[in-house]
Structure 1
Amino acid sequence: MAASRLSFRNITALAPMVRVGTLPMRLLALDYGADLVYCEELIDIKMAQCHRVVNEVLETVDFVAPDERVMFRTCEREKDRVVFQMGTSDPDRALTVARLVEKDVAAVDVNMGCPKEYSTKGGMGAALLSDPDKIEAILKKLVTGLSIPVTCKIRILPSLEETLSLVQRIERTGVAAIAVHGRMKEERPRHPVHCDYIQAVAQAVSIPVIANGGSLDLVKTNGDIEEFRKAAGTSSVMLARAAMWNASVFSNQGPLPVETVMEEYLKYAIQYENNAFNTKYCLCQMLRDKVESPLGKQVQAAQTIAEISEAYRLQELYQQTQERLQARRDVLESSSQPDRLVMDGDVTTMAVKFERREYPPQITPKMFLLEWSRKEKLEQPLYEMVQRSQDRAFQSTVTIAGKKYRSSLWEKSKKFAEQAAAIVCLRVLGIPEGRIGEEDSGLVCKRKREAKMNGITEEEGIKKRHVAEQETDNSKMAAVANGDHHKPDTPPE
């Protein structure tokens, strides 16, 4: 299948970095001038279990695992410039995952360079370098099976001859580009990058070569990028740690203070509801030697995006964003035909929300449903609760007379979720629910209504009556013991 015309020549890219290359960092890099951005390496086995979800609230496309975790999130802004990198050792599984994301990314890259155990186990990452046949099988499968470009990222081999032999074999598979990290798989950032190897690779193949590995040795500012480009003999460069520490390295306007960069990063994390621990990790990488400063300690102690926002004095922006997103959820949910019944297995569902302002003080649908069940001599309603992981919203199912009812919409609290379930049950059964303006059904008697208005629950009322009766009995016994057979001062009820 013909690949699109995405060019890998004369570009500067954000390199794939585990736990760093998520949506906020990618968008930040694009803001500062990166031409392409790679996502973090995502393992094919995990991605193959995901389903694609259009998130209308965040205006993103999410790839969600069975446990509700968002494995990969992208948006329209980066669609033509994001490269999806996967860890794989199986051609068929690689194609399955690539086809899953194909319509939402600009290219697919295979990781053949990461030396860490989480990547090399199972024959992925740098482990592929010792199996050229498998490299060829994976890349050919992807190139012939996709409509978008396929690339790969490698490390150099122990000898130049082996390295050149491998990249020429890779070129014959039809890939659009090769990224070369100029270190061997046993070497670490403290070892110097081998620019001579990268230069030899660039001369040995006709496809674009992207130089990688110069962050510590060569690239500290934007002006250094061109020097690395010349030293490696390539037209394109890929930056990892230099960008992780300060993404404004991509800007030709000069570096910005890291405090400014962190704030801009956090704004994206708030906007796209990025995972709090992932956000915290990236901010700590930017803090570097200031991670033990008062700000660093506050960030490390934070458990939520709200707490992180407070550390950077962005709590007002966080609150405004939450309100805007909730308003968008409400609009989307209110347009989903609220009165239409839908069977979800053995559960009757209806898209309704509990709006507290629609009911008198202290009167709720749950009260009406409880009174109705007592009137009909049924067991009292049983509520079961579940919580959604991505936004911590709640949904309740109520069982009464052997039948189950649930609102298909999610609520912000457990109490509201139970009230919504009660509303569905009442509406399906045609029973009043106590809304303002509704004719008095007599389901909630005057005594209970007055007790509720006074802030006394039914259980509290029973307890108070029991205490009063006990005090009266004690008073009677005391009078008899003292030989006083007259009525006590406080008569019994």
Structure 2
Amino acid sequence: MKEKMMGQGAGRLGFCRKAALAPMVRVGTLPMRLLALEYGADIVYCEELIDIRMAQCRRVVNEVLETVDFVAPDERVMFRTCLREKDHVVFQMGTADPQRALTVAQLVENDVAAIDVNMGCPKEYSTKGGMGAALLSDPDKIEAILSTLVKGVSKPVTCKIRILPSLEDTVSLAKRIEKTGVAAIAVHGRTKEERPQHPVHCDVIKAVAQAVSVPVIANGGSLDLVKSHGDIQVFREAAGASSVMLARAAMWNPSVFRCQGLLSLESVMEAYIRYAVRYENHASNTKYCLCQMLRDRVESPLGKQLHAAQTSAEICEVFGLQEFYSEHRARLLARQDSLHTGGQRPDRPVMEGDVTTMSVRFHRREYPPQITPKMHLLEWSRREKLEQPAYETVQRPLDRGFQSTVTVAEKKYRSTLWEKSKKFAEQAAAVVCLRSLGVSEGRVADPEAELVSKRKREERRADQSEEEKEGPHGPPNASDSTSRKRHQSKPQEEVKG
């Protein structure tokens, strides 16, 4: 096999003899990328990110997490990266428009090592709008997109394709792609109609590799060929490729990149959780990745506990990492303090006219299930014999954001930040009020919050009462049980959001 070499400037990402983490939706976020790099991956691809959404993002330096975030108008972080992966991460986008692709590439190019265009994913998420594998039937558009990117950005440009029904068409497309000036071509050795249960066509990947002078990255061997680190070289040679890209094999156990051998799944999952917590990964995404690692063990006792977890704190509890989580939250708050002038918290109360304001946002994952700041504020008001808190919410036309002001004891409170929904805006206002009053808002980091404790006491009393009703003759009749369940569900229904 001839080695594919290309003229590269110093510091440019190369694609020869490399092992790469493949782009995977919901998997290729920052924690998984960093874990793969820790275990020995040379290159890590982010999950496919759609150009229309990314083009609306603004670049934000997150000094607390020490990351660079690309934030959508609704404040959702679409792409998060950090210095550790800067020379290794490839930004993959879904696009069908050359100019929009260029806009996104120029937005992120200074924070990534290369730009990749997805031309191989057969799922509707990618193919709608002519993206992903839909591009395979439009070589003119492929050429326009790649040529525009190669000319318009300073970083290497690559693409990922699937093979076509005929060998001749696949080789012809690869040659046309090569002429655009791309730095490498990743080839998934299946057609867009084939699925993982179909064998990977190493012979077609090899034919492409022999036909072009740029590096070819072989993909699709996880099920058939790659079970351990030693198999990566076997797959590379079988496909005649310059490098190998792993998806499912790395998703199931990213320590497949370790030349010293696989680590136990338990240690890998713990390491992943630490990265996820460190970089504030969304709990639902963290749980999804952990479930993929468990595979056929997802119905085990551990899997069921994981499935029940709703927050990062609860996930840490499942794996015995409560102390790590608490220490992380303390470090995070300390860093927030140190970054603010004078050592004051950035959410210190400020008077704007007759309204007390703070710059705070409501994050649902920071609170226990079914317990919210609004509930705590209502409980406190009742205890102080005050009127029920009154919320007044406005929406601004520009981005349809919401901002709420809560009145308690004839005093007004609101957050200076706009939320994506009316419910979240009200919760943020409640947070401002509670913090101003020095009253617990019931975050997960404060497990002894009064309302949480009260709910636990009420549940224990209800259970004890039920046991007394059952007595020696068994449970009460069905209508009594139904009535009790209906009564217990009411507080939850009142405070959703």
Task: Decide whether aligned partners of structure 1 residues 99 and 342 sit closer, same or farther in structure 2, where only a CA change above 3 A counts.
Answer: farther
Matched-pair contact (CA < 8 Å) for 2:349–2:436: no
Matched-pair contact (CA < 8 Å) for 2:414–2:429: no
How far apart are 1:405 and its partner, in Å?
7.8
Task: Decide whether aligned partners of structure 1 residues 213 and 407 sit closer, same or farther in structure 2, where only a CA change above 3 A counts.
Answer: closer
User: Which residue matches 2:433?
Assistant: 418
Q: Which amino acid aligns with 2:432?
A: A
How far apart are 1:333 and its partner, in Å?
3.2
User: Which residue matches 2:248?
Assistant: 241
The alignment status of 1:133 with 2:148, answered yes or no, reads no
How far apart are 1:38 and its partner, in Å?
0.2
Alpha-carbon separation, structure 2, partners of 1:199 and 1:128: 22
Alignment match of 1:59 (pick from 47, 58, 66): 66
How far apart are 1:53 and its partner, in Å?
1.1
Cα distance per residue 1:167-225 (max 9 Å; x no partner): 00000000000000000110000000000000011111111000000000000011111
Q: Which amino acid aligns with 1:86?
A: M
Q: Which amino acid aligns with 2:326?
A: Q
Structure 1 SS opposite 2:241: coil
Q: Which amino acid aligns with 2:292?
A: Q
Matches within 5 A, 1:67-216: 67-216=74-223
Q: Which amino acid aligns with 2:125?
A: Y
Task: Decide whether aligned partners of structure 1 residues 347 and 143 sit closer, same or farther in structure 2, where only a CA change above 3 A counts.
Answer: farther
Q: Which amino acid aligns with 1:60?
A: T
How far apart are 1:320 and its partner, in Å?
0.7
User: Which residue matches 1:264?
Assistant: 271
Q: Which amino acid aligns with 1:225?
A: I
Task: Decide whether aligned partners of structure 1 residues 348 and 256 sit closer, same or farther in structure 2, where only a CA change above 3 A counts.
Answer: same
Task: Decide whether aligned partners of structure 1 residues 93 and 340 sit closer, same or farther in structure 2, where only a CA change above 3 A counts.
Answer: same
The alignment status of 1:324 with 2:331, answered yes or no, reads yes
Cα distance per residue 1:306-358 (max 9 Å; x no partner): 111110000110111011101111222344998999999x99888799xxxxx
User: Which residue matches 1:431?
Assistant: none
User: Which residue matches 1:27?
Assistant: 34
Cα distance per residue 1:198-253 (max 9 Å; x no partner): 00111111110000000000000111111101100012000000000000000010
Q: How many residues align?
A: 391
Task: Decide whether aligned partners of structure 1 residues 339 and 244 sit closer, same or farther in structure 2, where only a CA change above 3 A counts.
Answer: closer
Q: Which amino acid aligns with 2:230?
A: G
Matches within 5 A, 1:248-397: 248-335=255-342, 397=405
Task: Decide whether aligned partners of structure 1 residues 217 and 172 sit closer, same or farther in structure 2, where only a CA change above 3 A counts.
Answer: same
Alpha-carbon separation, structure 1, partners of 2:403 and 2:79: 25
Aligned alpha-carbon RMSD (Å): 3.5
Alpha-carbon separation, structure 1, partners of 2:61 and 2:209: 40
Matched-pair contact (CA < 8 Å) for 2:218–2:241: yes
Task: Decide whether aligned partners of structure 1 residues 335 and 135 sit closer, same or farther in structure 2, where only a CA change above 3 A counts.
Answer: farther
Matched-pair contact (CA < 8 Å) for 1:407–1:421: no
Task: Decide whether aligned partners of structure 1 residues 329 and 397 sit closer, same or farther in structure 2, where only a CA change above 3 A counts.
Answer: farther
How far apart are 1:406 and its partner, in Å?
5.9
Alpha-carbon separation, structure 2, partners of 1:233 and 1:254: 24
Matched-pair contact (CA < 8 Å) for 1:341–1:348: no
Task: Decide whether aligned partners of structure 1 residues 234 and 343 sit closer, same or farther in structure 2, where only a CA change above 3 A counts.
Answer: farther
Structure 2 SS opposite 1:122: helix
TM-score scaled to structure 2, two decimals? 0.72
Task: Decide whether aligned partners of structure 1 residues 383 and 120 sit closer, same or farther in structure 2, where only a CA change above 3 A counts.
Answer: closer
The alignment status of 1:226 with 2:241, answered yes or no, reads no
Task: Decide whether aligned partners of structure 1 residues 148 and 348 sit closer, same or farther in structure 2, where only a CA change above 3 A counts.
Answer: farther
Alpha-carbon separation, structure 1, partners of 2:347 and 2:124: 53
How far apart are 1:36 and its partner, in Å?
0.3
Structure 1 SS opposite 2:340: helix
For structure 2, the residue ranges without an aligned partner over 5 or more in a row are 1-7, 361-380, 382-388, 395-401, 419-424, 439-497
Alpha-carbon separation, structure 2, partners of 1:336 and 1:104: 30
Alpha-carbon separation, structure 2, partners of 1:301 and 1:407: 32
Task: Decide whether aligned partners of structure 1 residues 32 and 164 sit closer, same or farther in structure 2, where only a CA change above 3 A counts.
Answer: same
Alpha-carbon separation, structure 1, partners of 2:413 and 2:27: 43
Alpha-carbon separation, structure 2, partners of 1:123 and 1:331: 48
Structure 2 SS opposite 1:307: helix
Matched-pair contact (CA < 8 Å) for 1:397–1:418: no
Structure 2 SS opposite 1:118: helix
Matched-pair contact (CA < 8 Å) for 1:347–1:406: no
Cα distance per residue 1:248-268 (max 9 Å; x no partner): 000010111111100100010
Structure 1 SS opposite 2:334: helix
Task: Decide whether aligned partners of structure 1 residues 352 and 275 sit closer, same or farther in structure 2, where only a CA change above 3 A counts.
Answer: closer
Alignment match of 2:25 (pick from 1, 12, 18): 18
Structure 1 SS opposite 2:74: coil
Structure 2 SS opposite 1:243: helix
Alpha-carbon separation, structure 2, partners of 1:46 and 1:409: 21
Between structure 1 and structure 2, the one with the greater Rg is: 1
Q: Which amino acid aligns with 1:58?
A: L
Alpha-carbon separation, structure 2, partners of 1:395 and 1:88: 34
For structure 1, the residue ranges without an aligned partner over 5 or more in a row are 354-366, 368-380, 387-393, 424-493
Task: Decide whether aligned partners of structure 1 residues 31 and 232 sit closer, same or farther in structure 2, where only a CA change above 3 A counts.
Answer: same
